[in-house]
Amino acid sequence: MATALASKVKVRAEKRKAQHKTVSDWIVDTIIVILLVAIVASVIYPLYFIIIASFSDPALVAQGKVTLIPQGVSFRGYEKIIMDERIWTGYRNTIVYSLVGTAVNLLVTLPTAFALSRAEFKPRRIILFLFTFTMFFGGGLIPSYLLMKDLGILNSMWVFILPGAFSVYNMIIARSFFETSIPEELRDAAQVDGLSYFSYFIRIVLPLSGAIIAVIGLYYFVGHWNDYFTGLIYIRDLDKQPLQNILQMILLSNQTGQGAASMSALESQNFADQIKFGVIIVSTLPLLVIYPFLQKYFNKGVMIGAIKG
Amino acid sequence: MAQAAYKKPTRAELRALNKSRKKREIQEKADRRKRLGPWYKRLARHFRLYWQLWLMVSPAMFLVILFSYVPMYGVQLAFRRYDPLKGLTGGDWVGFEYFEKFFRDALFFRIIGNTLRISMWTLVMGFIAPIFLALLINQIGGEKTKKFVQTITYMPHFISTVVMVSMLNIFLSPDSGLIAKLFPTINLMGNQAAFTPIYWMSEIWQHCGWNCIIYLAALASVDTSLYEAAKIDGAGRLQLIRYVDIPALLPTAGILLIMNMGSVLGVGFEKIFLMQNTLNIQASEVISTYTYRIGILSTQFSYSTAIGLFNSVVNFIFLIMANQIAKKVSNTSLF
């Protein structure tokens, strides 16, 4: 009773305090609200505009009449995109590269992070130094290019999987997680039960690490999905190019218009714009779909990364 | 009284103490060695205990050595004349010829200038903006509104560079772009003076929300009694931000600033490359795009490697310097 009453009194006191804001506080509050609304609007509006423009009448979009609601709904851009074989090739390639790539990433990163999180494993300091040094210094473009050539993985799928299979940054995030979030008593108990490092890692640590696997899995997956550089430098054949490179090709080639013969120059230009909006949506769709499911892990992931060192 | 009883040891006493301690340490080490046997036995024991951990790190070590250290070894190409028949390390040794060539390159000053200008603007603005945004978001009272604003501002971080640049092209296109309408007389994407602002502003638009997560976490861990104490002292909204929030962010900000300093000459290749066109190339050619043009497009492998090496060395020096300065100024450092 007493505590309930006390809290009620407290709430009332706080309310009264809130009502007695000074004038300058009111001004500051208003400015903060205005700024936040402006920021949110400026982030969301471009994304929203691209979505509605992708299925609005391209002529109206060009005249600037499409602002808040889609006008003259037309899916011709999407029809054209779906019929474009390059998009499907790119999609297939990117899905394969991203899934296989992320799987390999996790297979390499998690055990490494675990091994380096064990304090009794003395060589870990020097191994860690060997790894972190590569974050700040590298061989550069041409030596890497020549290496891929010598390895014979130029213009093949492996160039997407192997060179980036291990990210030191993500390993450090996972390592910090293992160090701070898995209680050391578990290892002691496991040792008493005669568990080896392998079975301890697989049967005890991994099941407790869902959040971190989701976070670094997401980092890796987004990295693969958005990768443009690898396709640009190492891939020559069109049928091996990932989605981002195909996307760039379509965006460039459609600069001058690719519409039907019956269209005027202006019409085909507008149509080309609609295709642009469409491919942007199509290529970003999978990330937009998984975004809501994974965003609860973001704060956690970044925070774990922050307490390294 | 206890303090008075303590007599400062003389130098000789200290020396003797140190000596005996060292002796003891050596003795202990020898004992341990005796107990554990010679080095090969100790090594065998280490591997017997930890072979599984070694097995776990070996794939990563293999990959890092192959894909990071082998190219680092291949950096000697910068000092050799590349010969396709002799491979990476077989060409004739030419010393600093390619570096001199770069310093005498007609484009040298323009490229360095562009790189520095673009990266400094991005570094400074990209450093301030997330702090500002975090302070703003932290002012939101309702948890739900806060979550909503965060979710929205993180979103652009996941957009690919290709999509980002094509969005820039759409919104800045002179005939129909929404932003271009504010500047009716200039073609923004083809304007040299506009290139740097477009670059850093779009960087902030894309990554500011994401980069402020870490500051928000720092703000969340501020002791609430600090706010109450400040309020009792008559602090208003702005004073709370100035005297409680901002000091709470400083250590994190210091570390992040050092890390960013390491990439002063390392502006991302993809975005600049995709934003380049014949009209803005004078203002947009940077070191990374130049190494690509020289190396991959005109296959001057040695020259390109030299430029790349110059770039990494300068970056490394900047990182060390920033780290050293931060150590002196605020006791925060990366290593």
pLDDT string in tens for chain B (335-residue length): 445 566 777 888 888 888 888 888 888 888 877 777 788 888 888 998 899 999 999 999 999 999 999 999 988 899 998 888 877 777 888 889 999 999 999 899 999 999 999 988 998 999 999 999 999 999 888 888 988 898 889 889 889 999 999 999 888 887 777 787 778 777 888 888 899 999 999 999 999 998 888 888 888 888 888 888 888 888 888 888 888 899 888 888 887 887 777 666 667 789 999 999 888 889 899 999 999 999 989 889 999 999 999 988 888 888 888 778 777 776 666 66
Cβ distance B309 to A109 less than 8 Å, yes or no, reads no
Kindly state the tokens that stand for B285. Answer: 């050619």
Q: Is residue B246 part of a domain?
A: yes
A152: closest CA of chain B, how far (Å):
14
Cβ distance B60 to A146 less than 8 Å, yes or no, reads no
Same domain, B235 and B148: yes
Identify the residue among B42, B53, B182, B267 best suited for mutation to test binding to A, counting A beta carbons within 10 A and taking the highest.
B53
Same domain, B321 and B262: yes
SS (H, E, C) chain B: CHHHHCCCCCHHHHHHHHHHHHHHHHHHHHHHHHHHCCHHHHHHHHHHHHHHHHHHHHHHHHHHHHHHHHHHHHHHHHHEEEECCCEEEEEEECCCHHHHHHHHCCCHHHHHHHHHHHHHHHHHHHHHHHHHHHHHHHCCCCHHHHHHHHHHHHHHHHCCHHHHHHHHHHHHCCCCCCCHHHCCCCCHHHCHHHHHHHHHHHHHHHHHHHHCHHHHHHHHCCCHHHHHHHHHCCCCHHHHHHHHHHHHHHHHHHHHHHHHHCCCCCCCHHHHHHHCCCCCHHHHCCHHHHHHHHHHHCCCHHHHHHHHHHHHHHHHHHHHHHHHHHHHHHCCCCC
**Smallest Cα–Cα separation from A38: which of B216, B133, B157, B242?**
B133
**Range A157-169 average pLDDT:** 93
Same domain, B40 and B145: no
ipTM of predicted assembly, 2 dp: 0.84
Evaluate if residue A131 carries a pLDDT over 90: yes
Evaluate if residue A95 carries a pLDDT over 80: yes
Of chain A, the percentage scoring pLDDT greater than 70 comes to: 85
pLDDT band with cut points at 50, 70 and 90 for residue A1? very low
Q: Is residue B208 part of a domain?
A: yes
Q: For position A82, what pLDDT does the model report?
A: 86
Same domain, B123 and B247: yes
Same domain, B118 and B253: yes
Q: What stretch of H or E contains A148? A: helix A141-151
Of A43, A109, A162, the CB nearest to B205: A43
Query: Residues A189-220: pLDDT tens digits?
Result: 998 988 999 999 999 999 998 888 988 898 89
Q: For position A10, what pLDDT does the model report?
A: 60
Question: Dihedral sign, CA of B197, B273, B170, B154?
Answer: negative
A102: closest CA of chain B, how far (Å):
14
CA distances from B105 to B69, B108, B276 (A): 29, 5, 21
Same domain, B111 and B19: no
Q: What stretch of H or E contains A125? A: helix A124-136
* CATH code where residue B325 lies: 1.10.3720.10
Q: Which domain holds residue B189?
A: 100-330
Residue A272 in contact with residue A258, Cβ under 8 Å?
Answer: yes
- Closest residue of B to A132, CA-based? B64
Q: Is residue B221 part of a domain?
A: yes
What pTM value is reported for the model? 0.85
Evaluate if residue A258 carries a pLDDT over 50: no
From chain A, the residues in CB contact with B296 under 8 A are: 141-142, 145, 233
A277: closest CA of chain B, how far (Å):
9
Interface A-B: count of C-beta contacts within 8 A: 233
Q: For position A257, what pLDDT does the model report?
A: 43
Q: Is residue B234 part of a domain?
A: yes
The total number of structural domains in chain B stands at: 2
Same domain, B107 and B58: no
B162: closest CA of chain A, how far (Å):
6
From chain A, the residues in CB contact with B266 under 8 A are: none
- Closest residue of A to B207, CA-based? A43
Q: Is residue B28 part of a domain?
A: yes
Please identify which residue in the block is written with the tokens 């690490």: A209
**Smallest Cα–Cα separation from A301: which of B313, B214, B42?**
B214
Q: Is residue B94 part of a domain?
A: no
Q: Is residue B87 part of a domain?
A: no
Q: For chain A, list the domains and their CATH numbers.
A: 10-76 (no CATH), 78-306 (1.10.3720.10)
A244: closest CA of chain B, how far (Å):
7
- Closest residue of A to B292, CA-based? A141
Q: Is residue B91 part of a domain?
A: no
**Is B333 or A126 the better-scoring residue by pLDDT?**
A126
Evaluate if residue A264 carries a pLDDT over 80: no
C-alpha span between A195 and A187 (Å, rounded) = 9
Same domain, B177 and B295: yes
Q: For position A11, what pLDDT does the model report?
A: 60
Same domain, B188 and B146: yes
Query: Residues B39-97: pLDDT tens digits?
Result: 888 888 899 889 999 999 999 999 999 999 999 998 889 999 888 887 777 788 888 99
Q: For position A6, what pLDDT does the model report?
A: 59
Bridge partners for B93 per DSSP: B80
Same domain, B325 and B281: yes
Bridge partners for B92 per DSSP: B81
